[in-house]
Amino acid sequence: MKKWLIRLLAALPLAVAILAIGGAVSAVRRLPDLFPWHQLISTLEPRAGDITPSFTLAAYLEREDAVFREAHAQVDRIVSAGANAAVPNRYVEGSRSYPTRLDTNWNRTQVLTVPEPRGGALLIHGLTDSPYSMRAMAERLHAAGFYTVSLRMQGHGTVPGGLVNTSWEDWAAAVRMGARHVSAKAGSDKPLILVGYSNGGALVTKYAVDALSDPSLPQATKLVLVSPMIGVSPAAALAGAISLLGPVVEKARWIDVVPEYNPFKYNSFPANAGRQTARITRTLSRDLASAAEDGRLQQMPPVLVFQSLLDTTVSTAAVLFELLDRLPANRNELVLFDLNREAGIDAFTRPDAILPRLIGEGTRPYAVTLVANSQPSSLDVSAKSVAAGATAITEEPLGQSWPDGMYSLSHVALPFPIDDPIYGGEGNGRDVGSIALGRLSPRGEKGALIIPAEVLMRVTWNPFFPYLARRLESWVAEPPRR
């Protein structure tokens, strides 16, 4: 066994070299030419070492402003000169995809104030994303009396090249700064709500676990996680090795290079972004296990999770087994959005896409609500709920139904209502001079589109967002369960 272990360790550098060379060759052959928005790698973002306990939100926003000025000068102005504004491009001034076509540039940190807050809420967006994805939830928390900050994570909202040199430690430091600011503004005696979407879900969970043993960090009162990145594909861990030759072969830094038509989310994907997802989920898993073992996890604030049963970006199973099963009993809840069982595409659905429904499978230490077809032959939906430790099912008709042709939600759909201007199925983006991606439903001959058809067919809005919003509001209003 010792001999084989030595051989394995000796072969490891060779395997990494093969991955790096293979990744570089593949990138050069399959990826299109890079554009200025891929090549600008800003050094102006605040890093983890910069964000000390005395680093303020005002200082963070000053650095953010410098990053946006840099991107405008080195990308927008150059790309816009002589460009065809009729082609959607978020970096071409005059294009429908230009972010400022809306009244607010939602790629930047957003703050909503109230005269006498009942509490504070810090909202953290996902990877390649922007504070725009937190817009609808922040507005509802603000309407409920909360001082809210939807914080832009470093490397986001400007150019995808910004994600080439950032790390999850940078983002975690920004979350700590944001929590200190929100707690101070709302009042240390007021509730502190942390809301995280996708990668933001991992970040706020990491913060809450760290705060259990760090008295300098404000304690969260409750967590709300939307499609949280608790687990990802093991292939994400290979991204770092694949991109090792990035400093020599520029394209080797990239997994995908795609036209940037989306005003508030990157389409291109650098290898470093995949590497950071693997690193933070691995670290979070270790931290959760350690906190469970030494008993600290018993002090974890209550957690409400919204998750689509079908999610190809994060692992739904990891949300259950890595997170919820480890948390204290009787405090937490999972709201799971089922597949549309009346979509008429059963024969075309992969068998491994159908996971257990979690209803009628025995007791669990957390409550489960399944948003699903009321009847097998109906598009109407109900919320079917089972309390923690119970087996009895209660059912609440929601007065909503699956839209025609939609067979499931997606990772990118949950935080967006139907009337979201950009991503909603009834969005008015085009009416206000922007773009309405949620209304696209292209059907025609194959081979004509410059964007992969599977990207355009991915649903970008949640027909059941009113239920999500109602549950969010009731969750933050309830006293914490202990």
pLDDT of residue 235: 61
Average pLDDT over residues 449-457: 70
* Closest residue by Cα to residue 293 from 219, 212, 172, 218: 212
pLDDT of residue 424: 95
Q: What is the CATH number for 160?
A: 3.40.50.1820
pLDDT of residue 13: 61
Q: Which residue in the block uniquely carries the two structure tokens 């593949």? A: 26
Strand-pair category, 119-124 with 110-112:
unpaired
pLDDT of residue 277: 93
pLDDT of residue 241: 57
pLDDT above 50: residue 268: yes
pLDDT of residue 108: 98
Q: Which domain holds residue 174?
A: 38-339+408-477
| DSSP type of residue 2 | H
Please tell me the least confidently modeled range out of 161-165, 240-244, 362-366.
240-244
Average pLDDT over residues 421-446: 86
Confidence of residue 355 (pLDDT cuts 50, 70, 90): very low
Look over the chain and give the mean of its residue pLDDT values, rounded to a whole number. Answer: 88
pLDDT of residue 1: 74
Count of structural domains, the chain: 1
Give DSSP secondary structure letters for 436-479: -GGG----S-TT--SS-HHHHTS--S-TTHHHHHHHHHHHHHSP
pLDDT of residue 110: 98
In this predicted model, what pLDDT tens digit does every residue of 65-91 receive, in sequence order?
Answer: 999 999 999 999 999 998 999 889 999
Average pLDDT over residues 23-27: 56
In this predicted model, what pLDDT tens digit does every residue of 282-333 receive, in sequence order?
Answer: 999 999 999 999 999 999 999 999 999 889 889 888 999 899 999 999 999 9
pLDDT of residue 264: 97
Residue 209 CB neighbour total at 10 angstroms: 19
Please tell me the least confidently modeled range out of 34-48, 251-265, 352-366, 391-405.
352-366
Confidence of residue 141 (pLDDT cuts 50, 70, 90): very high
Q: Confirm whether 237 is domain-assigned.
A: yes
In this predicted model, what pLDDT tens digit does every residue of 229-251 receive, in sequence order?
Answer: 998 766 655 655 565 555 656 78
Return d(Cα 211, Cα 188) in angstroms, integer. 14
Reduced to 3 states, what is the DSSP secondary structure of residue 151? strand
Q: Confirm whether 397 is domain-assigned.
A: no
Residue 354 makes CB contacts below 8 A (sequence gap 6+) with 339
In this predicted model, what pLDDT tens digit does every residue of 47-57 receive, in sequence order?
Answer: 999 999 999 99
Confidence of residue 123 (pLDDT cuts 50, 70, 90): very high
CA angle (422 as vertex; 421, 426 as ends), nearest 5: 55
pLDDT of residue 226: 98
Residue 113 CB neighbour total at 10 angstroms: 10
pLDDT above 90: residue 344: no
Whole-number Cα distances in Å, 375 to 118, 211, 326, 400, 425:
40, 44, 33, 13, 25
pLDDT above 80: residue 24: no
Sign of torsion over alpha carbons 459, 462, 463, 464:
positive
pLDDT above 90: residue 187: yes
pLDDT of residue 310: 87
pLDDT of residue 20: 52
Q: Confirm whether 399 is domain-assigned.
A: no
Q: Confirm whether 31 is domain-assigned.
A: no
Confidence of residue 353 (pLDDT cuts 50, 70, 90): very low
Residue 246 tokens read as 């990035």
Q: Confirm whether 22 is domain-assigned.
A: no
Count of alpha carbons within 13 Å of 232, Cβ hemisphere only? 26
Q: Which residue in the block uniquely carries the two structure tokens 């996708």? A: 198
Q: Indicate the pTM of the whole model.
A: 0.92
Q: Confirm whether 76 is domain-assigned.
A: yes
Q: Confirm whether 9 is domain-assigned.
A: no
Average pLDDT over residues 97-105: 91
Whole-number Cα distances in Å, 97 to 65, 101, 264, 332:
21, 7, 9, 39
Higher pLDDT, 136 or 2: 136
Q: Confirm whether 368 is domain-assigned.
A: no
pLDDT above 60: residue 217: yes
